[in-house]
Amino acid sequence: MLTPVTDAATLIAEARREAGLSLRALAERADVCFTTVFRIEHGELDPTTGTLRKLLGALGQELELGRSSSAQGPQLAELSDAWSTDRAGQDQPDWTRLRAFLDHLARHPDEAAQAIRSRPPASGSAFFDNLLAAIAEKVSDDSGTPRPAWTKRIPPLAVTWEGFGTPRMAAAAAAATPPQLACRKVLIPAASLWRQTR
């Protein structure tokens, strides 16, 4: 019989009661010290996998270890609120959150396709929706994976978004903007979001 493990203390105590054994009888049958069984059942000791196998085996049960699913990394869809409006009424990205997302993908490129697969909820800012779509497209292109279909459903901006600055600064920003952002009329230099690798 396979038994899913949630809490070792509860698991052993319930299995022992179902088998109608005392603590001493289980310890003897499993060839495990009585005090070890006592401490496990009272939550004072976390048993090793080997000890759990012995105890469950003595109770006619089997311990099966499954693969643990790794925690899901950050998702682009979680960033739809990573922007605000400044005093001048212009939408501004939360640079810290966006960079943290992209830094994570730089360290874990195998997570790229999964991280951009889901469409972010509408942010309430056409600029920001385009920025997220452009990020997804650039991440896809950089990782050599197909672009997510949802990006096609976000029309490019009608008016170009560019940060504040002199005309010379704007020209420099435009020249350093990745093509995925430029196609959506979002002029942000790559270095503002992506760390330069050496």
| Residue 198 pLDDT greater than 50, yes or no | no
In Å, what is the CA distance from 163 to each residue of 2, 109, 122, 154, 185? 60, 29, 22, 21, 12
- Tell the CATH superfamily of the 8-58 domain: lambda repressor-like DNA-binding domains (1.10.260.40)
pLDDT at 80: 94
**Residue 124 confidence (pLDDT) above 90:** yes
Give the residue with greater pLDDT, 67 vs 60: 60
Say what the pLDDT of residue 6 is.
54
Q: How confident is the model at residue 15 (pLDDT cuts 50, 70, 90)?
A: confident
Token output for 109: 């490129």
Phi, psi of 27 (to 5 degrees): -60, -45
Residue 105 has what pLDDT? 94
Domain positions in the chain: 8-58, 76-192
